[in-house]
Amino acid sequence: GQEFAFGYYSKPALIGWVIGAVTALAGSDAPFWVRAPGAVFHGATALILAALGARLIGGRAAIWVAASYVTLPMATLGSLLASTDTIMAPFFAAALYFHARLAETRLLRFALAAGAMAGMAFLAKYAGAYFLLGVALGALLPALRIGWGNAAALVAAFALVVAPNIWWNLANGLA
């Protein structure tokens, strides 16, 4: 987080950006400020997953989803440590939410939003790319098919968001 770049050794850029931004705003690089975003990111993840639960099942599900998420050991530990998983979680959850909306409506804006959020998840942790695999596997179910045009838009939005990190990796010997 001391130097803003499009990538770092073995990590994509987002965790460094978050740590750098928070410590710059706080005027301190004390451990508290390095770790502070974790709780916020897990709180955001819980709210996004609750919105998805509400949309798919109902309001009561939203409450249970949020409560279940924030009590997971991963959320507790991730709220105390600076982790790529913590930074990835809300973006991956948002990608799932927008994909669900896309499967419902087939609107291009949801394809673009899902792809962009999956790209942001990738910028937090390379495992964010698994979202694309999930979309492809989900297409085996008729209810989750999004159409070729929307799939292309989703992948294009993902590629646009991750392109600076891919370029950085290529320029830095695939560090």
**Nearest-CA neighbor of 151 among 104, 94, 102, 105?**
102
Encode pLDDT of 55-81 as tens digits: 999 999 999 999 999 999 888 888 888
Instruction: Show Cβ contacts of residue 3 under 8 Å, excluding neighbours closer than 6 positions.
Output: 16, 20
What does the H/E/C string look like for 5-73? CCEECCEECHHHHHHHHHHHHHCCCCHHHHHCHHHHHHHHHHHHHHHHHHHHCCHHHHHHHHHHHHCCH
The model's pLDDT over 11-67, given as tens digits with 9 standing for 90+, comes to 888 999 999 999 999 999 999 999 999 999 999 999 999 999 999 999 999 999 999
pLDDT reported for residue 19: 92
User: Is 1's pLDDT higher than 80?
Assistant: no
* In the predicted structure, residue 10 carries a pLDDT above the cut 80: no
> Over the stretch 137-154, which tens digit does the pLDDT of each residue have?
999 999 999 999 999 999
